[in-house]
Amino acid sequence: MANVVVVGSQWGDEGKGKIVDWLSEQADVVVRFQGGHNAGHTLVVNGVTYKLSLLPSGVVRPGKLSVIGNGVVLDPQALVDELARLAAQGVVVGPDRLRIAETTPLILPLHRELDALREAGAAGTRIGTTKRGIGPAYEDKVGRRAIRLIDLVDAKTLPAKVDRLLSHHNALRRGLGLEDVNGAALVDELLAIAPKVLPFMDRVWELLDKARRDGKRILFEGAQGALLDIDHGTYPFVTSSNTVAGSASSGTGIGPGALDYVLGITKAYTTRVGEGPFPTELTDEVGKTLGSKGHEFGVVTGRARRCGWFDAVLVRQTVRTCGIHGIALTKLDVLDGFTELKVCVGYKVDGQVIDHLPAESGAQARAEPIYETMEGWQESTAGARSWADLPAEAVKYVRRVEELIGCPVAVLSTSPERDDTILVHNPFQD
């Protein structure tokens, strides 16, 4: 039996929610290891749609333990609200089903305000954040001034920790022409919500170690995609955490030797939300068709996603940076009906042909895709549950993708429904 890490191999929105939900049936524990409530997952289970932002995708399944690791930044109010939305749909999540790392940094109202202010004032250089305070919260974590979940336990020591945080933020706010944050009011706000979140607190590193030693299957769920990684993504148009598979270890406290299989969720075409380079982006009718057929709108923001052809160069690169063993190819059915399909197999930058995405942002923006054209198919692949259900051209497309990225397809998804899935290799039986 193996412990499995699920990561997005593109810019996010690859369909991780469905795949994690599908895999969670075999898992005992499902863990979020980075990001915050800026990452949306849509699950369709027995015809019911669940939209999650912060909670692990396995939380809608009875009998599974969901865990939020220390690598996540936690907005306590967003947590309470999301739990309430699930309860309204009949899914009641208590401490027996959800545990949160005691060292998880908190997102506070001042983080959301700062995030929105920066984004609004960054004309021409916007990152495209969700304005939910994720970046500023990570900054405070690295700056060693964050308020962490365990800090809510002791009402006597909390004010001093808030003062330390505000010595930075109030100076920053004065420079931006904003009023100081009232420390006493912030302490009161935190102590008011503490009883709602502290029952979920745990030593996650110890919990996961025991689960592993007891032979439990652990599924590690990443947010966003590898190309939004703070180190390995299209910097500066990235998120504020490490989204590659290695952070499943640092973001939970489990040793890297416990990570047995990395599954890269990969969309059959390419999408991106927000700003930043996108070599295969299509702004014509083809791009609009992909967006329309694929329902490409952000779960969290509602923003329309930018769409383009499959970029094998990018995925091949993330296969390496994440150590991906196999991919789950999603949304193949969106390509139904195209006469021809294109796949990016290289770039031309300033007249030079290269086989990787350059690290410098200016060079990324100048990268021109080199395409390989393939024959499309007119038959429907929607709902296919075996290779025999697929048109020959669709099979050829999948096989060519495997060749170009240097990684096999382990799972093929043909609709948002969890059972519309073709299993080639079970990651839990590596």
Q: Could you list the active site residues?
A: 13, 41
**Cβ of 204: how many Cβ atoms within 10 Å?**
25
CB 52 within 8 Å of CB 16: no
> Under DSSP, is residue 390 helix (H, G, I), strand (E, B) or coil?
coil
Structure tokens at 132: 């939910």
Which residue type does 350 have? Answer: D
Distance CA 66, CA 218 (A): 10
d(CA 232, CA 235): 8
CA distance 293 to 382: 12
Q: How far apart are CA 296 and CA 214, in angstroms?
A: 41
Give the other-Cβ count within 10 Å of 331's Cβ. 25
Interatomic CA distance for residues 206 and 219, integer angstroms: 16
CA–CA distances in Å: residue 178 to residues 114, 172, 181, 185, 187: 10, 9, 9, 17, 20
Which of 264, 274, 270 lies closest to 221 in space, CA to CA? 264
- Residue 135 per-residue DSSP state: H
Q: In terms of C-beta density within 10 A (0-12 exposed, 13-18 middle, 19 or more buried), how is residue 192 classed?
A: exposed
Q: Which two tokens stand for residue 171?
A: 């100076």
Choose among 16, 60, 20: nearest CA to 39. Answer: 16
Give Cβ neighbours of residue 183 (< 8 Å, ≥ 6 apart).
159, 162, 163, 166
How many C-beta neighbours within 10 Å does residue 428 have? 19
d(CA 370, CA 350) in angstroms, rounded, equals: 13
Cα–Cα nearest to 78, from 43, 40, 45, 49: 40
- Indicate the residue type of 149: L
